[in-house]
Chain A
Amino acid sequence: MHKCLKCGKKFEKIMEEMLGGCPECGGNLFLYVREGEERIKAADLVDRIKIEEKVPLECEKIESLRILSPGVYVLNLDALLERKEIVMGIKEDGSYAIHLPSLFGRKNAAKRR
């Protein structure tokens, strides 16, 4: 059931007239109410909303190098300075690549010394 949040009128189904607003009052906000839940107040519904925990920042920073298009690069200096490996994000197909020489670079540098 759809309930107009302005005038409280209930509609069993979405009617074509509702697409332009409530036929009674013109309000354009409707609440979908399941059967048997007519008496539930909006305040109770708010409590049902679960706010998922923010995704850890680490996930946002994972790419150390993003290739936006050929010749356009975005570098995450923080990740490059902190991590041993270089993770590249390639925009076109959403794929990622790990730069293998960067993983072995330290070992080789140590051997050279």
Chain B
Amino acid sequence: MKSRKRKGILARLFRVFAFRKKTAKIGLYGPPNAGKTTLANRIIHTFVDENEDMGVSTEVPHETRRAVRRGGILIDLRSKSVQNPGSHSNPDSKSKRERAKLKLDVVDTPGLATKIDFHEFMAYGLEEEEAKRRAKEATEGVIEAIKWLDDMDGVVLLMDSTEDPYTQTNIVLIGNMEARGTPVIIAANKMDLSDAAPQRIINAFPQHPVIPISALKGENMEKLYEEMARRFG
């Protein structure tokens, strides 16, 4: 465990000094329905093309069952306005924004879960055969998402602010990434909902930066991008 951590840190240091302009590969991880695809689409719409989507986002869990990679995204906070029209710009963030530039590959991953039961798909009106097929694909998707972790330079871990953050999935994932030495940013998503409590996530994982966002409404995204530029750049 220790040697792996050391290896991870050394590998990152090597990359920082040897390939300063290397594109950072960032994985969007989290439990099903946390908003990974919504965030991936938000990043693409803001920095690449408003008409391009990385995936389809629905309320059915495990909608993304294969990891999807989109390369060469330039997050440049100087040239793009990433503010939500309704939100207010922070005057202090101007100097940070000038530095915030990051080239990255984004990988939208299937949701990680400890149990996948076809009955949960049937609750959304799917036929039994289709539900079983989805459950199998979702299970393969979890394994695929975990295999991708080996390639990641950083991880944005999405959590649903309306849910209890003390889940086995969150704790196992964070513990493993700490052991690997992979930098993590926690995005406390769905902050626009009335029952959102991002403070619970901040209290649960004080060792990592936690940024409350709404990927759907585009709230507080600038702060997330700044943190990404700082941690993964």
Q: For the complex, give the distance between the alpha carbons of A78 and B119 in Å.
A: 24
Q: Known contacts A80-B142, A80-B146; decide if A74 and B114 are in contact (CB<8 Å).
A: yes
Q: Which residues of A contact B176 (CB under 8 A)?
A: 78, 81-82
Q: Does A15 contact B (CB under 8 A)?
A: no
B: number of interface residues (CB 8 Å): 26
Determine if B147 and A75 form an interchain contact, defined as CB atoms under 8 angstroms apart: no
Chain B: CB-nearest residue to A66: B115
B5 on the A face (CB < 8 A): no
B146 adjacent to A72 (CB under 8 Å): no
Q: Which of A2-10, A35-43, A101-109 contacts B (4 or more CB under 8 A)?
A: A101-109
Residues of A within 8 A of B119 (CB): 71-72
Alpha-carbon separation in the docked complex, A64 to B107 (Å): 24
A residues within 8 A CB of B112? 77
Q: Is B113 at the interface (CB under 8 A from chain A)?
A: yes
Q: Mark B120-152, 1 if CB is under 8 A from A, else 0.
A: 000000001001100110010011001101110
Contact: B115 with A73, CB < 8 Å? Answer: yes
Q: Interface 1/0s, chain B 167-198, versus A by CB < 8 A?
A: 01100110010000000000000000000000
Contacting pair A72 B114 (CB below 8 A)? no
Q: Counting CB contacts under 8 A, is A86 at the interface?
A: yes
State whether B139 touches A73 (Cβ < 8 A): yes
A59-102 with Cβ < 8 A to chain B:
65, 70-78, 80-82, 86, 102
The size of the chain A interface, using a CB distance under 8 A, is 18
The answer to whether B115 touches A77 (Cβ under 8 A) is no
- Whole-angstrom distance between the Cβ of A101 and the nearest chain B Cβ: 10
Q: Are B143's CB and A65's CB within 8 A?
A: yes
Inter-chain contacts of A106 with B (CB < 8 A): 150
Closest to A67 in B: B139
Chain A residues, Cβ within 8 Å of B168: 77
Q: Would A72 and B147 count as touching, CB distance under 8 A?
A: no
Q: Which of A70, A71, A73, A77 contacts B146 (CB 8 A)?
A: A77
Given contacts A71-B117, A73-B135, contact A81 B150 (CB under 8 A): no
Residues of A within 8 A of B114 (CB): 74-77
User: Could you say which of A71, A77, A105 contacts B136, with CB atoms under 8 Å apart?
Assistant: A71
Which listed residue (B118, B128, B143, B151) contacts A102, Cβ 8 A?
A: B143
Query: Any chain A CB within 8 A of the CB of B74?
Result: no
The one of B113, B118, B173 in contact with A72, judged by C-beta atoms closer than 8 angstroms, is B118
Shortest CB-to-CB span from A41 to chain B, Å, is 48
Nearest 6 pairs of A and B residues by beta carbon = A71-B118, A71-B132, A81-B176, A73-B139, A71-B135, A73-B116
Given A75-B113, A102-B143, 7 additional A-B pairs, CB 8 A: A65-B139, A72-B115, A72-B119, A72-B135, A74-B114, A78-B172, A82-B176
